[in-house]
A and B are shown apart, each in its own frame.
Chain A
Amino acid sequence: MDHLTYLENQSIYVIREGYHQFRNVAMLWSIGKDSTTLLWLVRKAFFGNIPFPCLHLDTGYKFQEIYEFREKYAKEWNLNLKIHKNEAAIARGVSPDTGKLECCTELKTNALKDAIKDFNFRGLYLGIRRDEHGIRAKERVFSPRDKQFEWNYKSQPPELWDQYKTKTAADEHIRIHPLLGWTELDIWEYIRREQIPIVSLYFAKNGKRYRSIGCETCCNPVDSNADTVDAIIEELKTTTQTERSGRAQDKESAYMMQKLRSLGYM
Chain B
Amino acid sequence: MNDTDVLHFVIVGHVDHGKSTLIGRLFYDTDCLPEEKLAEIKQASEELGRPIEFGFVMDHLREERDQGITIDTSQAFFKTKKRKYVIIDAPGHVEFIKNMITGASQAEAALLIVDAEEGVQQQTKRHAYILSLLGLQQVAVVINKMDLVSYNQNRYEQVKKELGEFLGELGIKPQYYIPISASLGDQVAKQGDAMTWYEGPTVLECLDLLEKKQLPQHQPLVMPVQDVYKNGSKRVYVGRIAAGVMTEGMDVKLMPQEQETSIKSIEKFLEDPKQAVAGESIGITTTDAIFAERGHMICIDGSEPSLTTQIKANVFWMARKPYTKGDRILLQCATQEVYASLNPIARRIDSATLETIGTDATKLKNLEVGEVIITTEKPVCVTAFNDVEELGRFVLVRDNDVCAGGIIIVPNIDEGGV
Contact = CB atoms under 8 A, between A and B. Distances in A.
B58 interface: yes
A122 to B, nearest CB: 13
Contacts, number: 141
B58 A254 contact: no
B35 interface: yes
Nearest to B269: A44
A6 B86 CA distance: 14
Nearest to A46: B229
Contacts of A10: 281
A150 to B, nearest CB: 14
Interface stretch (B72-80, B338-346, B368-376): B72-80
Interface in B79-116: 84, 86, 98-99, 101-102, 105
A13 interface: yes
B226 A16 contact: yes
A255 B281 contact: no
A3 B75 contact: no
Interface stretch (B195-203, B347-355, B398-406): B398-406
A138 B400 contact: no
Interface residues of A, number: 52
A227 interface: no
Nearest to A243: B34
A255 B402 contact: no
Interface in A154-182: 154, 156-163, 165, 167-169, 181
A258 B72 CA distance: 14
B318 interface: yes
B400 A47 contact: no
B294 interface: yes
Contact of B238 (A16, A140, A157): A16
A160 B76 contact: no
Contact of A48 (B86, B269, B280): B269
Contacts of B294: 20
B206 interface: no
A165 B403 CA distance: 11
A167 B227 contact: no
A9 interface: yes
B277 A1 contact: yes
B267 to A, nearest CB: 7
Nearest to A137: B74
A2 interface: yes
Contact of B283 (A47, A168, A181, A239): A47
Contacts of B215: 1
B226 A137 contact: no
Interface in A10-38: 10, 12-13, 16-17, 19-20
Looking at chain A's contact residues, the main secondary structure is loop
A131 interface: yes
A180 B44 CA distance: 26
Interface stretch (B60-68, B159-167, B183-191, B304-312): B60-68
Nearest to A140: B102
Contact of B74 (A138, A159, A161, A255): A138
B25 interface: no
Contact of A153 (B31, B61, B105, B227): B61
Contacts of A169: 400
A44 B226 contact: no
A42 to B, nearest CB: 10
A148 interface: no
B141 interface: no
A168 B401 CA distance: 9
Nearest to B101: A158
B401 A242 contact: no
A241 B35 contact: yes
Contact of A159 (B34, B77, B102, B393): B102
B77 A183 contact: yes
Interface string B1-40: 0011110000000000000000000000001001111001
Contacts of B58: 134, 137
Interface in B264-302: 267-270, 277, 279-281, 283, 294
Interface in A87-106: none
A208 interface: no
A134 B44 contact: no
B43 interface: yes
A140 B402 CA distance: 14
A17 B269 CA distance: 18
Nearest to A172: B400
Contact of B60 (A16, A138, A158): A138
Given A13-B226, A138-B74, A241-B36, A158 B62 contact: no
Contacts of A45: 238, 281
A9 B255 CA distance: 24
Given A3-B6, A163-B332, A134 B74 contact: yes
Nearest to A159: B102
Contacts of B44: 254
A45 B294 CA distance: 16
Top 10 closest pairs, chain A to chain B, by CB: A134-B60, A2-B4, A167-B400, A12-B281, A158-B98, A44-B269, A163-B395, A160-B105, A137-B74, A9-B281
16 contacts: A3-B5, A10-B281, A17-B226, A48-B269, A48-B270, A137-B60, A158-B102, A160-B105, A163-B332, A163-B402, A165-B401, A167-B400, A168-B400, A181-B86, A241-B35, A241-B36
Given A47-B283, A134-B57, 16 more contacts: A1-B215, A1-B279, A6-B6, A9-B280, A9-B281, A16-B281, A20-B226, A47-B267, A153-B71, A159-B102, A160-B102, A160-B105, A161-B105, A165-B401, A169-B400, A241-B35
